Amino acid sequence: MKTPADIAQRVLGGDLRAAARLMRLVDDGVEDGLLALGEVYKRSRPARSVGVTGSPGTGKSTLIDRLISAYRARGERVGVIAVDPSSALSGGAILGDRLRMQEHALDPGVFVRSLASRGVLGGVSLSTAATLAVFEGLGFERVIVETVGVGQAEVDVARLVEATLVVLAPGLGDDVQALKAGVMEIADLFVVNKSDREGADRTAHEVEAVLRLRPPPSADAEQGPSEPPVLLTSAARGEGIAELLAAIDAFFARLDPSPELARRRRARARLELETMLLAELRLGLAASGPALAEAEQRLAARSSDPSTECRRLLAARGARG
């Protein structure tokens, strides 16, 4: 068994197998994995990370495949994290993603990690944060995180990445409506994919119309990112990809020395702290043994209450150090 320092050293040296192993150790909640991850984290720099979100079928994976090729052509290494809560049920989506990205399967500059299960520590955010950190340890310049839908998981992932791209497609009617509900705040760029299909222009105009309804940015947001651009692509045909790449580059160029970047890095740090804290508590609870069983019994008998028992368990844990 390698020590945490060994594992970290290998990952930092660019060893992909060690990286895969570290991801598994962390997902399994293995202490050595967490120690190694900590070492990797301290000794690496943030990558340019992009979240790609949108309804199923809009073409996110196809688009990511194009982005990977474009980044590889520039000599940049790309880590992809495919977060797909539905795949545990269907089993189909992730396999589809794997097949689609197969072109890159033998390229050591590309690493695709699917997070179909949540790992013993819970929370997709924690797994995503950990995987992102491992990619950064490997020194990958780019990390792309694919998420489905517009739920809490997507909002959390948006707190981890430096830029968020929202993908829509014509004919998926409710999408523009859904925009109003949630993704508006997290989107840095909008992509209307399937521009080869009827109605793509109309969808783009609808997004622009919704954008115009937003309240004007406050004065102190002046340095932040400007109005998100709306781009048309056909991932299937490879059209609009160069423009998308340029828009992402322009976004990062604006973001780079700004207070907004510092704000985003701190938002990421907060989520990393929150998810790790919850994971630690969950592990601690599982390890509480008899104390946990006794607390459960007291609650079941209503001779105590959850708040009191939580404090008691935390205090006991604190005493153990």
Element (H, E) at 79: strand 78-83
CB of 197 to ligand GDP, least distance (A): 5
* Cβ atoms of residues 109 and 77 within 8 Å: yes
- The residue number with the shortest CB distance to ligand GDP is 59
- Is 199 among the residues that bind ligand GDP (CB under 6 A)? no
The structure tokens listed for 190 are 């909008």
Strand-pairing partners, residue 52, are 146, 165
61 part of the interface to Mg ion, by CB under 5 A: yes
Tokens (6 digits) for 167: 């993908």
List 194, 204, 261, 264, residue binding ligand GDP (CB under 6 A): 194
**Taking CB under 6 A as the rule, which mask of x and - marks residues 269-298 in contact with ligand GDP?**
------------------------------
b/e for 217-236, b at 16 or more Cβ within 10 A? eeeeeeebbeebbbbbbbbe
Q: Which is nearer to Mg ion, 99 or 315 (CB)?
A: 99
Residues 71-130 that bind ligand GDP (CB under 6 A): 96
Phi/psi of residue 78, each to 5°? -125, 125
Q: From ligand GDP, Mg ion, none, which one binds at residue 164 (CB under 5 to 8 Å depending on kind)?
A: none
Site for Mg ion in 124-183 (CB under 5 A): none
Q: Looking at 52-60, 68-76, 108-116, 215-223, which segment touches ligand GDP (CB under 6 A)?
A: 52-60
**Contact between residue 53 and residue 124 where contact means Cβ atoms under 8 Å apart:** no
| Least distance in angstroms from the C-beta of 11 to ligand GDP | 28
Q: In angstroms, what is the minimal distance from the CB of 263 to Mg ion?
A: 29
Distance CA 196, CA 212 (A): 26
The two counts, helices (H) then strands (E), for the chain are 15, 7
Closest CA to 117 of 143, 82, 158, 149: 82
Sign of CA dihedral 155, 125, 160, 71: negative
Please pick, from the candidates 35, 236, 245, 281, the single residue that binds ligand GDP as defined by CB under 6 A: 236
Q: Which stretch binds Mg ion (CB under 5 A): 57-65, 190-198, 264-272, 310-318?
A: 57-65
Binding site for Mg ion (CB under 5 A): 60-61
Binding site for ligand GDP (CB under 6 A): 56-62, 96, 193-194, 196-197, 234-236
